[in-house]
Amino acid sequence: MSVIIIGVATESGVPIFSRKRGTADNIQFSTIASLHGINMFSKCHNVSMVNTQVDNGTILWKEYCKSITLIGIVTGGLECDLPLLLSCVYDVMVFYIGKKELETMKNVDQIKRDLRQCYPMMDLLLESLDATAANSPQPTLVLDLIESMLCPQAQQLQQALDNFADCVTGRYACLSVGGRLAAVGGDWRELHPREARLLLLLPALDAAPLRETPCYLPVMSPNVAFRAVTCKLLADVYILVMCGATPTLAEIDELVLQCWESYAPVIKEAKLVAPRNFPASLQFEPCILGVFVINISSHRCVFSRNLPQTNQKGRGMSGSHRLDILRTFYIKSVRDVAPELRITDSDNNESNNDLEGMCETYWQSEYHKCHAQRSGNLLCCALYAPSVPTHTMRLITSQLLSSISSNKEVYW
């Protein structure tokens, strides 16, 4: 799979940036000009050029702020996620330089220089589309959800986060383990999922023990910058807090020691939940090869592929392969079970309305089966061995959903 994202100034057609992942060659200037020319020609004739199909892939155009056109090119696999990817890339641009700068576009050369700080986060987003990227510093299953872990210590950690946020006069705070959201504090739940998603990427960009990053919130505050401070507590464990100009980093460093020193044993226990990402009290049937659970209202998800191993057929499937199957299942089918998670598209609203009220769906092939079922605010996708009968698969998924809902150690 190859992914290429190109940013172009809408009026002048000047390329602003280009990022890629995969084996595709770099796009030449003449090709970029042709792609932008197609879009401009369509606009001159009052036609919207949405996308076009090419050999084994898709090209999509999307304009933002009437000043920037993003062009996405995907070959081999995740075409349906391309509109979402472009939206995420635009959010990254706003996150670092603000919406006003992008709208005015007074100095294209300056914008090009300013956007260089966006490249590491853009590259992480592109890398997240590749399920085989086992060495990625930021685990990501899908772009529209916040990957989390469910640890029994979440409530204790939330109390510590609330206390720490008060000490630094911060409004939003969270704790992440291995790039996954483990606990939230302050008013973190008020953040839009798109904003929370970008903030969780910050620790993966720089392993410094303590750092601050000026940033804009694409939905809540696209024109007024916040101060995001990330603090490393243990290996792969970070806290992030959004605060004002004070206190200074040196003062925050002292407050971290005061607020978190006594919580070191709790954090170490929480780390043991990874990479399973579910409490040990929650048991899975041996025929389940992977689980993907979504909390619909908070847009948080938990993925587990490290389940007890048996000699059952299908266990030879690699972890990245299981992840890719569940992700594709979610993108292609499962979003229809939860209308709240669907990517709005005026061209297909009518067809989606026909699926209202659907609460489960499944796939099956020679090598595996997938089943998804919704119960209230939870949506569970499970990957099964191919020998599991369909009626048994439905029963097991239903029991798993019930167990997650009733488990007192599961805290979102």
- pLDDT value of residue 231: 95
Q: Is the separation of the CB atoms in 369 and 363 below 8 Å?
A: yes
User: Within the chain, which residue ranges are assigned CATH 3.30.450.60?
Assistant: 2-128
Instruction: Read off the amino acid at residue 113.
Output: R
* Fold exhibited by the domain 151-271: Beta-Lactamase (3.30.450)
Per-residue confidence (pLDDT) for residue 309, from 0 to 100: 52
In the chain, % of residues over pLDDT 90: 59
The model's pLDDT over 12-71, given as tens digits with 9 standing for 90+, comes to: 889 999 999 887 788 888 889 998 888 888 888 888 877 788 877 889 999 999 899 999
Strand partners for 70 = 7, 62
2-128 has CATH 3.30.450.60 classification: yes
Average pLDDT over residues 155-169: 95
CATH 3.40.1840.10 placement within the chain: 288-406
Report the topology of domain 288-406.
Profilin-like (3.40.1840)
Burial 191-215 (b: 16+ CB within 10 A, else e): beebbbbbbbbbbbbeeeeebebeb
Start-end of CATH 3.30.450.30 domains in the chain: 151-271
Instruction: State residue 138's pLDDT score.
Output: 54
The predicted-structure confidence for 339-388, as pLDDT tens digits, reads as follows 888 665 434 444 455 566 678 999 988 889 999 999 999 999 999 999 99
Residue owning tokens 């995969």: 22
Residue pair 247/256 in contact by the 8 Å Cβ criterion: no
User: Where residue 176 falls among pLDDT bands split at 50, 70, 90?
Assistant: very high
As given in the structure block, the two tokens for residue 45 are 């004739």
Burial classification of residue 156, based on how many CB atoms lie within 10 Å of its CB (0-12 exposed, 13-18 middle, 19 or more buried): middle
Average pLDDT across the chain, whole number: 87
pLDDT value for 343 = 61
Tell me which residue of 79, 392, 412, 113 sits closest to 384, measured CA to CA.
392
Place of tokens 């992008």: 102
φ, ψ for residue 357 (rounded to 5)? 95, -10
Whether 77 shows a pLDDT value over 80: the answer reads: no
CA-CA-CA-CA torsion sign (245, 247, 252, 258): negative
Task: Report the pLDDT value the prediction gives residue 219, as an integer from 0 to 100.
Answer: 94
CA-wise closest residue to 185 among 207, 209, 156? 156
pTM score: 0.90
Report the pLDDT value the prediction gives residue 80, as an integer from 0 to 100: 57
